[in-house]
Structure 1
Amino acid sequence: MNNATSPATTGSNQLHIELYHLMTMSRVLDRIIGEHDGHWHGLEGEEAVAAGVYHGLRADDVLAPHYRGTIIAAYAKGADLRTLLAGAMGKTTGYNMGRYRSDICGPAQYNLIGLYSGSLGPPLGYATGGALAAKLDGRDDVAVAVFGDGGSSRGDCHEAMNLASVQKLPVVFVCQNNQIAISTEKKNGVGGSVAERGRSFGMLGVEVDGNDVLAVHGAMQEAIARARAGEGPTTIEAVTYRVAGHFYSDAEDYRDPDVVDRWRERDPIRAYRSWLVKEGVLDEAGLNRMDEEARVHAQTAMDRALADPAPTAVDLAPELVFAPDTPREGERP
């Protein structure tokens, strides 16, 4: 763990407790949602990136999260867990009212940008647009775009980075590099370093250990501070590994299980627990209580969400989704 952010230097343990909670809640949600949705894209092994990046963003900051972590991103921004889980289960009580996939599209009222088309590239452009809007409006809000190593090779990524650099926009590009795009290993799909690509566009490019939540959070806070101060964009490449399958029912017959086992030994939650105990932030009993509280909170939210009603034809009626086909009084036809 990065000793530069130890309790002795921060003066408070609250940050460390909050980061641990986000990491634990990420894993709890994976297991609870995965029991009901075999197509759920789990975050196991990548929790340090999600917690380190999504913690501490302001309400007006724009966030385009990685689809592998959208719900924890919304939760970190203040969204209600029961409502998020209702959306994941397709219920009318979700933020999405059962009309679209909340696992890849977070609630817009929390300034989250989703994979509206199901394509992984466009959200980088949307986030960059959000940063441009903040600059034009004279606000010190930032935008954050989180994408995978596979997404880093899309044209959308290069176009967004180039515009952000030319316009010196307040945006942070975070590559959640889990080293595999569905079943394509990074060595077969990505040429060179993603952080170096950021530098090639004239912005600061930083590579961090994506299994060290303090290293990720520290790099993120520095990038956000630079963006708010008008110093332009940053690219952060957080190198981690997708321990779980592409989705919960993935047969995973395309990679070496020994490699997966080696990365399991580097479990980011276990490593952070050890650091927290060593630094005296919490003891094992305290961490176990936090784990149980997260489990109970998530399970209770899921039980209530599952009991909520599914959408009816009336709930999904076109007139409730699209603009009316006849003009309202006083409107031009």
Structure 2
Amino acid sequence: MNAIDLYRWMLTSRLLESALGRKNPRWFSTEGEEAAIVGSFAELRTGDIAVPHYRGPFVAYLMRGADMKRLACQAFGKADGYGKGRSMPFIGPAQLGFIPWVAGDLGTSLGMATGAALALQRQGQGHVCVCSFGDGTSNRGDFHENVNTAALWKLPIVYVCQNNGWAISQAARTYLPAPIVDRAQGYGIPGVAVDGNDVEAVQAAVRQAMERAREGAGPTLIEARTWRKHGHWANDKTPYRTAIDQPDHPTDPLELMHERLIARKLASEADLEALYKDIEATVDQAVERALAGPDAGLAELGADEVFATAANA
């Protein structure tokens, strides 16, 4: 994926996530983390499997052809969403090679991703699984069990920790005694720390790890150090943040890439302004259409699959 496409997808993520957060105060916003997300999934090939973090999966879905309006429907619990409004709002199109995050508990996606990597290994067609998760999740037992298994069996998987420095309201400095990337040594696999605000740096690190996995050399642990621009959810006012928890001048991934495109003469200011307006219009239309759609009802929510009724008693 070239530089213009990387920027376009990051901008799409920023505008879509902002729009969803304005309409759904409990939405888990990704503003500030676009480079870590887009860079992680920019190198997927047909046949590869992606297991994105719950914070920011929509742009990963879009990059593989998902419908924006159906994703927005899922964020609002609408019947036309990919999960028909059911379960978590992060459900996406499994037919596009995703294992969506659907559990009510963090860390479970790591097991699904590792299992998928085992299946890919047995198929022997050179496909790879890319799994992303947060810094808080890296402290769960699921993380250690799955990375250990993947290292032992040399599974074709890339683990990307999307480290934004926060586990809900707890700063990483209070629960991480050492860099997450250092844990890779304990499993005998490569560990790579990368600037998570630089989409090209993330893309390059993941590409190298994917090539290694395709060759049968096993997993890689990547720590993409990024930042959470807002709170845990859209209307979180972050009263728990203090001066020590905030970087003085965090690098906005969009601003960084914007400047690079201009400096490399790959685009003009007018080009990028036109791109912004085009994506903004697309996002606004998708959100408006989603909000106008029908809410999920009993048929979509599957009440008869949970409770006994006259029809299934």
**1:178: how far off?**
0.6
Q: Of the candidates 163, 186, 200, which is equivalent to residue 214 of structure 1?
A: 200
Q: Which amino acid aligns with 2:154?
A: K
Gaps of 5+ in 2: none
Structure 1 CA distance for aligned equivalents of residues 264 and 273 of structure 2: 16
Structure 2 CA distance for aligned equivalents of residues 205 and 167 of structure 1: 17
Q: Of the candidates 157, 166, 180, which is equivalent to residue 180 of structure 1?
A: 166
- 2:253: which partner in 1? 268
Encode CA deviations 1:46-87: one digit per residue, 9 max, x unaligned. Answer: 111011112231242222111110111211222111111111
Cα contact 1:128–1:160 (8 A) shared by 2: yes
Normalised by the size of structure 2, how large is the TM-score? 0.94
**1:326: how far off?**
10
Q: In percent, how many aligned pairs have the same letter?
A: 40
**1:297: how far off?**
0.8
Q: Of the candidates 214, 221, 242, which is equivalent to residue 235 of structure 1?
A: 221
Q: What root-mean-square deviation, in Å, do the aligned CA atoms of Structure 1 and Structure 2 show?
A: 2.2
Q: Which amino acid aligns with 1:43?
A: T
Encode CA deviations 1:160-197: one digit per residue, 9 max, x unaligned. Answer: 10001000000000011111111111111112121111
- 1:97: which partner in 2? 84
- 2:16: which partner in 1? 29
Cα contact 1:86–1:93 (8 A) shared by 2: yes
Matching of residues 67-106 of structure 1 within 5 Å: 67-103=54-90, 105-106=91-92
- Secondary structure at the counterpart of residue 262 of structure 1: coil
Structure 2 CA distance for aligned equivalents of residues 119 and 173 of structure 1: 18
Q: Of the candidates 124, 133, 145, which is equivalent to residue 131 of structure 2?
A: 145
- 1:17: which partner in 2? 4
Structure 2 CA distance for aligned equivalents of residues 80 and 56 of structure 1: 20
Cα contact 1:58–1:77 (8 A) shared by 2: no
**1:259: how far off?**
5.3
1:263–1:177 distance in 2 versus 1, CA, 3 Å: farther
- 1:157: which partner in 2? 143
Q: Which amino acid aligns with 1:16?
A: A
**1:247: how far off?**
0.6
Moved more, 142-151 or 168-177: 142-151
1:316–1:177 distance in 2 versus 1, CA, 3 Å: closer
Q: Of the candidates 102, 109, 117, which is equivalent to residue 116 of structure 1?
A: 102
Cα contact 2:43–2:203 (8 A) shared by 1: no
Structure 1 CA distance for aligned equivalents of residues 233 and 92 of structure 2: 19
Q: Of the candidates 44, 51, 59, which is equivalent to residue 64 of structure 1?
A: 51
Cα contact 1:171–1:232 (8 A) shared by 2: yes
Cα contact 2:41–2:130 (8 A) shared by 1: no
Encode CA deviations 1:11-55: one digit per residue, 9 max, x unaligned. Answer: xxx611110011101110121101111011111111110111122
Structure 2 CA distance for aligned equivalents of residues 30 and 218 of structure 1: 25
1:72–1:194 distance in 2 versus 1, CA, 3 Å: same
**1:311: how far off?**
2.1
- 2:264: which partner in 1? 279
Cα contact 2:18–2:31 (8 A) shared by 1: no
- Secondary structure at the counterpart of residue 208 of structure 1: strand
Does 2:157 match 1:171? yes
1:314–1:241 distance in 2 versus 1, CA, 3 Å: closer
Q: Which amino acid aligns with 1:199?
A: Q
Does 2:116 match 1:130? yes
- Secondary structure at the counterpart of residue 315 of structure 1: helix
Gaps of 5+ in 1: 1-13, 328-333
- 1:43: which partner in 2? 30
Corresponding pairs, count: 312
Structure 2 CA distance for aligned equivalents of residues 263 and 79 of structure 1: 34
Structure 2 CA distance for aligned equivalents of residues 203 and 222 of structure 1: 13
